[in-house]
Each structure stands twice: as structure tokens, then as C-alpha cells.
Amino acid sequence: QVQLVESGGGSVQAGGSLRLSCAASGYTYTNSRLCMAWFRQAPGKEREGVAGIYTGGGSAYYADSMKGRLTISQDSAKNTLYLQMNSLKPEDTAMYYCAADRTPCSPSGPPGEYDYWGQGTQVTVFS
């Protein structure tokens, strides 16, 4: 059973940066291959993927709405996924979730394809 715990959210002024972390347990990077992704959901809106990665390597996925402002990365020694967010905008305000899916999987897959979810971390961007 994969367990995910996000941290790093908060309130930031527009133009600022935040780095989200997702600590994973219940598997190890060396023994498992997963798709791991960040999703977000604003009030009244559907959950959408913003970035994803395959732990076995390959290109990362970034949503067009945030492309150029995000960097997804992983630290296999710490079993941790990161999302660096720069040049934040008020419309980026949402709950951000970390998710994992066992292979076969797609880093750009929709929320319904992901089996494991964290509890979310709130990001609020004020102007």
C-alpha cells in the first residue's frame, strides 16, 4: 500500500514561489516503478493534472496552464517527489495533491487512473 503525504503549501504573493513535497512510503524507488503526479483542484472546478513523472525515467509532463513555471523532480534516496512552482498567479490558488499509479501508467493520465492519493496541501496566491 502506497502512502503519500504532501507538505509545503501556504500563502504567497503573486510572482512568488513555493516548493511542494510529497513523501512516499509503502514502496521503494529501487524496487518499484510508478507514475507520480501533482494534481490541483480549485473550489467549484474539476481536479486537473499539472505535472507528472515516471520514476523509471523519461520526460516529465507539464500542463499547458503552468508550463514554464513548474519543475517536477524526485529524490529516490528520500522517496520524495517535489514540485517547484515559480511566478505564481492568483489563478493557481487550489488544493494540490500528490498521486501515484503503478505501471502500466502515464504521467499525464487523468485523476481516475491514479490509485493512491495524499491528503492535499493548500496553495493560496494573493495579488
What does the alpha-carbon distance between residue 64 and residue 48 come to, in Å, rounded to a whole number? 11
Cell numbers found for residue 101:
499509479
Q: Look at 30-39, 53-62, 79-88 and tell me which has the smallest mean pLDDT.
A: 30-39
- Give pLDDT, residue 83: 98
% of the chain residues with pLDDT over 70: 96
Residue 57 binned pLDDT confidence (cut-offs 50, 70, 90): confident
pLDDT in tens, 2-46: 899 999 999 999 999 999 999 999 876 556 788 999 999 999 999
